[in-house]
DNA sequence: GGATGTGAATGCATTCACAGCA
DNA sequence: TGCTGTGAATGCATTCACATCC
C-alpha cells in the first residue's frame, strides 16, 4: 500500500484520529468486537457524521450495517499515524519536567521510546537519572545517527529552547515536541508540536471569566471602554 | 468596563491571544514601546490581518499610523484573559508529573499560583513535597472553599482521572487542566483543557511519516487498498 | 433495519482590500 | 505615509441527508 498523502485532510481530523485510537483501545479492553460511528462519537462528544468523515479521509474501513471491526480499525489508525512501529525519541533537558517524562510509562505502548537524554549542565552530564545516563549536547549528532532518532522532545528553559531546536534541526531531526514557553522557528520540513501550560491555563481562565461574568460578578471597577 | 461576552469570537482567536501576550512581553523586555500588527504577526508566523482581526474582536486597542502601545496592549490582553489578577489553583496527583508542576516557576508570573496539592495515596498524604504538604482528597471541599479556588490541575493516572474530575466538579471547580490521557466528561459549565502527550507525539509521527513518504521510503509491504 | 461513505449545504475562520485616521 | 479596523470574499471544516450495501 502506498502511504498517505493527505491531500484534503483537515488538520483537526488528524488530531481526532489519536483520540479515536485511544477510545478504540478502551473498547477493545472491554472486549467489544465492533463499534459504530455513533458509539465512538458519543464517547468523545462528537457526532457520528464527524467520525465517519474523519475515517473516510483515509480509506474505507467500515462495514455497512455492522460498523467498524475494533481490532481492524485500531491497526488501520495506528498505521495511518505511523505508530504501528516504535519510534526512538530523544529528550533534551533533565530538569523536573525531563525527569517526569523519563519516568512516564505511557510512551512505550503508544509506540514511542525515549532512548537518549541530553542536558547542557556539566553537573548533570554523565550522571544517571532513572534508567538514563545524561549525555552532553556534543553527543547529539552521533547518537541521533547511531540510533536512527527522528523525534525530539525539548524540556529546557525558555531562553535556551530555540538554540536547542536549531541544533536538533541541524542534526536532521524531523519532529519536535516543545515544552518550553516560546514559539520555535524551524524550517518548514520539520514538524513542531507544542505543550504550553501558560496558554492552556489562560484558556481556562478566559472561559471561567466568561462564565462568572455571564451570571454575576464583583462590582468591577472601570478600566476604559 | 463590562467584561467580555464573546459573541462571535472564534476559539482559535482566544488561543492566539495567549501567544500575543507572550510575544508582547518579550518585546517589552527589549524596551520596544510600540508594535505593529505586522511585527507581532511575523514573530509568530501569522499575518498582520489575523492579528488585527483577533484583537479587534475585543475592542479597539491600536493607533492608526502608530501601531499598538506595548504596555497598554499587555494590560488589555491580560484583562481579557483574566490574568490581571492571580488565580489560586489546586493540583491533584503528586507523582512525577505533579512534582514537576509544583516546581515549575513559570506559573507565578503568568498569574497562576498552585496553593494546594492532593493525592489519594495514604503514603504520600501529610508528607512534604517541596513547599507543599500533600493533602488527602477528603480535604478538597473545605480547602477549595477556604482558598477560593476555581481552577484545578489533574495529574493522576488515566484510570482515576474521571473520578477526580467528578469530585472537582462536585466541589464547584470551574476549570480543569487535564494531564491524564482520557477525555473527561464534565457538565458544560465546566471548562476543560487537555495536555495529551500521546496525541501530540502521534501528530508528529503522522507529520514525519508524510514527509518521509513524500520523498523516499523503505519498500513498504502491502496491507490492502 | 442498521450501518457506512459521500456529495451538497451550511457554518466558521482567515484573508483581502480599502476607507479612514494620525 | 503608515497603520488600524472592518465589511466582503474566500477558503476550511462540519453537518445534513441520502444512496448504498450487509
DSSP letters, chain A, are: ------SS--HHHHHHHHHHHHHHHHHHHTT--EE-HHHHHHTTT--HHHHHHHHHTT----BTTTBEEHHHHHHHHHHHHT-SSPEEEEEE--SHHHHHHHH-TTTGGGTEEEEEEE-S-TTTTT-EETTEE-B-GGGHHHHHHHHT--EEEE-S-HHHHHHHHHHHHHTT--EEEE-SSS-----TTSEEEE--HHHHHHHHHHHHHHHHHHH----------
Rg of the Cα atoms in chain A: 22
pLDDT for B100 equals 96
Residue in B175, B193, B203 nearest the CB of A193: B203
Mean pLDDT computed over B34-47: 98
Residue in B14, B189, B204 nearest the CB of A151: B204
pLDDT for A206 equals 97
Q: Has residue B219 got a pLDDT over 80?
A: no
Q: A48, A49, A55: which is closest to A16 by C-alpha?
A: A55
pLDDT for A8 equals 83
DSSP for B154-179, written as a single string? E-S-HHHHHHHHHHHHHTT--EEEE-
Q: How many CB atoms lie within 10 A of CB B194?
A: 17
Task: Determine the protein residue whose CA lies at the shortest distance from the C1' of D3.
Answer: B65
| Contacts of B83 by beta carbon, 8 Å cutoff, 6+ apart | A202, A205, B110, B111, B112
Condensed to tens digits (0 to 9), the pLDDT of residues A10-67 reads: 999 999 999 999 999 999 999 999 999 999 999 999 999 999 999 999 999 999 999 9
Half-sphere exposure of B214 (CA within 13 A, CB side): 10
Mean pLDDT of chain A: 92
Spatial contact of B176 and B184, defined as CB atoms under 8 Å apart: yes
B18/A174 Cβ within 8 A: no
More confident residue, A224 or B181: B181
Distance from the B34 Cα atom to the nearest Cα atom in chain A, whole angstroms: 20
Mean pLDDT computed over A136-159: 97
For B86, left (φ over 0), alpha (ψ -120 to 50), or beta? beta
A5 — pLDDT class (breaks 50, 70, 90) = low
Query: Chain B residues with CB inside 8 Å of A100's CB?
Result: 95-97, 99-100
CB-based burial, A51-73: b 16+ in 10 Å, e otherwise: bbebbebbeebbeeeebbbbebb
A191/B204 Cβ within 8 A: yes
Query: Chain A residues with CB inside 8 Å of B79's CB?
Result: 223
Cα–Cα distance for residue pair A116/A91, rounded to 1 Å: 6
B209 — pLDDT class (breaks 50, 70, 90) = confident
pLDDT for B14 equals 98
pLDDT for A139 equals 98
- Nearest residue on chain A to B16, judged by CA atoms? A199
Q: Has residue A219 got a pLDDT over 80?
A: no
- Running DSSP on this structure, what letter comes out for residue B122? T
B220 — pLDDT class (breaks 50, 70, 90) = very low
B12 — pLDDT class (breaks 50, 70, 90) = very high
C-alpha cell at B10: 472564534
Distance from the A137 Cα atom to the nearest Cα atom in chain B, whole angstroms: 22
Condensed to tens digits (0 to 9), the pLDDT of residues A70-129 reads: 999 999 999 999 999 999 999 999 999 999 999 998 888 899 999 999 999 999 999 999
Distance from the B46 Cα atom to the nearest Cα atom in chain A, whole angstroms: 12
Mean pLDDT computed over B136-144: 98
C-alpha cell at B129: 513535597
Q: Where are the beta strands (DSSP E) in chain B?
A: 34-35, 68-69, 87-92, 112-118, 128-129, 132-133, 151-154, 175-178, 191-194
Spatial strand order of the sheet with A151-154 comes to: A112-118, A87-92, A151-154, A175-178, A191-194
Mean pLDDT of chain B: 92
Residue in B18, B175, B206 nearest the CB of A198: B18
| Bases of strand D lying below 7 A from some protein CB | 1-7, 12-17, 20-22
Interface test with chain B among A206, A212, A222, A225, by most B beta carbons within 10 Å? A206
Q: Has residue B223 got a pLDDT over 70?
A: no
Mean pLDDT computed over B30-50: 98
Condensed to tens digits (0 to 9), the pLDDT of residues A167-212 reads: 999 999 999 999 999 999 999 999 999 999 999 999 999 999 887 8
Amino acid at each position: 500500500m502506498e502511504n498517505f498523502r493527505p491531500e484534503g485532510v483537515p488538520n483537526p481530523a488528524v488530531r481526532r484520529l489519536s483520540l479515536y485510537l485511544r477510545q478504540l483501545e478502551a473498547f477493545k479492553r472491554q472486549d467489544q468486537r465492533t463499534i459504530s460511528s455513533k458509539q465512538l462519537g458519543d464517547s468523545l462528544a462528537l457526532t457520528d457524521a464527524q467520525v465517519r468523515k474523519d475515517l473516510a479521509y483515509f480509506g474505507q474501513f467500515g462495514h455497512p450495517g455492522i460498523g467498524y471491526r475494533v481490532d481492524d480499525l485500531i491497526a488501520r489508525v495506528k498505521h495511518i499515524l505511523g505508530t504501528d512501529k516504535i519510534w526512538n525519541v530523544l529528550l533534551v533537558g533533565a530538569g523536573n519536567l525531563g525527569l517526569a517524562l523519563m519516568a512516564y510509562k505511557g510512551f512505550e505502548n503508544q509506540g514511542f521510546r525515549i532512548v537518549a537524554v541530553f542536558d547542557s549542565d556539566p553537573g548533570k552530564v554523565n550522571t544517571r537519572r532513572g534508567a538514563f545516563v545524561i549525555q552532553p549536547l556534543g553527543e547529539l549528532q552521533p547518537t541521533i545517527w547511531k540510533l536512527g532518532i527522528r523525534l525530539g522532545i525539548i524540556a529546557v528553559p525558555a531562553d535556551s529552547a530555540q538554540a536547542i531546536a536549531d541544533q536538533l534541526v541541524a542534526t536532521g531531526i524531523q519532529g519536535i515536541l516543545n515544552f518550553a514557553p516560546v514559539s520555535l522557528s524551524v524550517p518548514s520540513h520539520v514538524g513542531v508540536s507544542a505543550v504550553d501550560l501558560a496558554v492552556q491555563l489562560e484558556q481556562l481562565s478566559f472561559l471561567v471569566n466568561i462564565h462568572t461574568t455571564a451570571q454575576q460578578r464583583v462590582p468591577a471597577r472601570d478600566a476604559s471602554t
